[in-house]
Structure 1
Amino acid sequence: MSDDSDYESVLLVIRECYVYKVPPLQSSSRGYRAADWGNVDEPLWRGRLRIIAQGKKCFIRLEDGQTGELFAVCPYEENKGCVESVTDSSRYFVVRIEDQGRHAFIGLGFLDRSHAFDFNVALQDHFKHLAAEERSAEQKKAGVQQPKLDFSLKEGQTLNLTIAGGGTGASTRRNRPPRPTASDDGVLPALLPPPPPPGKRK
């Protein structure tokens, strides 16, 4: 049976992107600037970008747009400096690529700002999804471990019920009002006469 970590999911495809040579960073406080890369209209390479999720891992793949041949890959980890935005444009980034244990930094650019936005969002959404899965798993685990309350009677225990207005026992019949009884002389008490009809009242 194949492991879920072997399954690849394509998070984003951008059909055209550009790669540039990045000079060494002069000052970390200054940050990277696309203006330092020379003429951005003459990239070092151009091709297709795909973001792939494989289990919890995420990869940025730069491939030939026609043949799919791999040019470079960036194993992306959140908050590890794998991708950094430049300080002078929203369309350019510095990406850390790896090949057989060696790494290098390249410039990555997009023709459209919307592509740069989608690139950022796809990376963020991957790790938001992982965080949501972890929270869900923790909540399920906490629910399973919660002890169940046992309300069953133990051996030798009895249950007494007290009914309001009466003593203990199984009878729940309400007390009825007393029926009229004969007087001491054996005659029922006289009932009040009905009211006189209208017009004959005095």
Structure 2
Amino acid sequence: MAEDNSYESMLCVKPEVHVYRIPPRASNRGYRAADWKLDEPAWSGRMKITAKGKMAFIKLEDKNTGELFAQASVDQYPGCAVEAVTDSSRYFVIRIEDGNGRHAFIGLGFADRGDSFDFNVALQDHFKWVKQEGELAKLEATQSTAPKLDLSFKEGQTIKISIGNIKKKDAGMAKSRPMGGGLLPPPPGAKAGCIIPPPGGQQTTPPAQTNPAPLLDFGSPVSAAQPSSDLWGDFTSAGSNSSKDAVKSGWVQFS
């Protein structure tokens, strides 16, 4: 709520209050309502509490004509402008002004205890708001004078970002690639020696065996240094006619 010196708000209205002439304060112990002539009020009428900016005003008016009888300017509460008596919650001492620099202290009383409670709360709430506004203004002033944090990049300034999961991701992709020759690794639990054919019907050639042994070895006298070009030649020297047929048919007949 921004302060507006041209706007006057209404805080509290009580249709009946009483004004008393009070004796001078005898000591610093405070005012006592019992010292007043409570059955003989000096004036009775209507009371209004208004606020204009930080100031509050207690206005005593004629309840029929609205003519102003007296006014008290309140700059803080509790304070010297409004003071509660020591022996009752329904009576207060207020300092009134005539507008020419003169002031006087009068007693103000309420017939009902609830009216005096509303009077007290209206002033308390107003100056509580004044205090909050003052603290907010100080905070805004502090923030406006504090240096602002500059998070923008300066010319030539760079930033380095480290992402630790890239190597792990590349390693996982490398493991999932097929083996050389287009063959996939055998599935878990597959028997040894079982090779899954590659896609597309491509046949793979088993690796050549190194140092293959002769298919038939019956202690042939042929030297290992001079291997025979025909594995079946040893059986054609038997001189049998049937041996030729055996060679043609691919079978060896023993006599």
Say yes or no: TM over 0.5.
yes
Give the TM-score of the pair, scaled to structure 1: 0.78
Q: Over aligned residues, Cα RMSD in angstroms?
A: 2.7
CA separation in 2, counterparts of 1:27 and 1:110?
25
- Structure 2, unaligned stretches of length 5 or more? 192-255
Indicate the percent of aligned positions where both proteins have the same amino acid.
49
CA separation in 2, counterparts of 1:189 and 1:126?
84
Alpha-carbon spacing, 1:166–1:95, altered in 2? closer, same or farther (3 Å)? closer
Alpha-carbon spacing, 1:180–1:13, altered in 2? closer, same or farther (3 Å)? same
Give the TM-score of the pair, scaled to structure 2: 0.63
Q: Report matched runs for 1:9-158 at 5 Å.
A: 9-29=9-29, 31-38=30-37, 40-78=38-76, 79-99=78-98, 100-146=100-146, 147-152=148-153, 154-158=154-158
CA separation in 1, counterparts of 2:44 and 2:62?
8
Higher RCO (CA 8 Å, separation ≥ 6 residues)? 1
Which of the pair is proportionally richer in strand? 1
Per-residue deviation, residues 158-193 of structure 1 (Å, max 9, x unmatched): 3343332668xxxx96232053346xxxx9887624
Per-residue deviation, residues 36-69 of structure 1 (Å, max 9, x unmatched): 112x122110000001101111110000001110
The total of aligned residue pairs comes to 181
- Structure 1, unaligned stretches of length 5 or more? 194-202
1:163 — aligned with what? Answer: 163
Alpha-carbon spacing, 1:84–1:160, altered in 2? closer, same or farther (3 Å)? closer
CA separation in 2, counterparts of 1:75 and 1:14?
18
Larger Rg: 2
Which of the pair is proportionally richer in helix? 2
CA separation in 2, counterparts of 1:160 and 1:92?
74
Per-residue deviation, residues 59-109 of structure 1 (Å, max 9, x unmatched): 100000011101101011214311111111111111111111111111110
